[in-house]
Homo-oligomer: A and B are copies of this chain.
Amino acid sequence: MGIHTYFQSLNDLERIIRCPGKFKFEEHSVSAHSWKVVQYAKTLADIEETNGVTVDWKKLYEITSSHDYGEIFIGDIKTPVKHHSLELRAMLQQVEEGMVAHFIDEHIPSEFQPIFRRQLREGKDDSVEGRILEVADKLDQIYEAFTELQRGNTEKEFVVMYRDALIKIKGIQLHCVDYFLQHILPDLVSEGSRSPIDIEKITKEALAT
Q: Which residues of B contact A170 (CB under 8 A)?
A: none
Q: Within A154-203, which residues are at the interface with B (CB < 8 Å)? A: 154-155, 179, 183-185, 187-188, 190-191, 194-197
Whether A2 pairs with B183 at a CB distance below 8 angstroms is yes
Whether B75 pairs with A77 at a CB distance below 8 angstroms is yes
Whether A65 pairs with B81 at a CB distance below 8 angstroms is no
Residue in B closest to A179 when the chains form the complex, CB atoms: B3
Interface size class of A (residues with CB under 8 A): 35 or more
Q: Within A11-60, which residues are at the interface with B (CB < 8 Å)? A: 11-17, 20-22, 24-26, 28-29, 31-32, 34-36, 38-40, 42-43, 46, 50, 55, 57-58, 60
Complex Cα gap A34–B119 (Å):
18
Give the Cβ gap from A70 to chain B, nearest Cβ, in Å.
Answer: 12
Whether B147 pairs with A154 at a CB distance below 8 angstroms is no
Residue in B closest to A147 when the chains form the complex, CB atoms: B11
Complex Cα gap A91–B57 (Å):
35
Q: Which of A24, A32, A81, A109 has the most CB of B within 10 A?
A: A32
Whether A40 pairs with B7 at a CB distance below 8 angstroms is yes
Residue in B closest to A112 when the chains form the complex, CB atoms: B46
Q: Which residues of B contact A95 (CB under 8 A)?
A: 81, 88, 91-92, 95
Residue in B closest to A74 when the chains form the complex, CB atoms: B77
* Sampled A-B contacts (9; CB under 8 Å): A4-B183, A7-B39, A7-B40, A10-B36, A14-B21, A42-B65, A46-B115, A50-B111, A152-B154
Closest 7 CB pairs of A and B: A15-B21, A4-B187, A35-B35, A57-B58, A12-B21, A154-B194, A31-B32
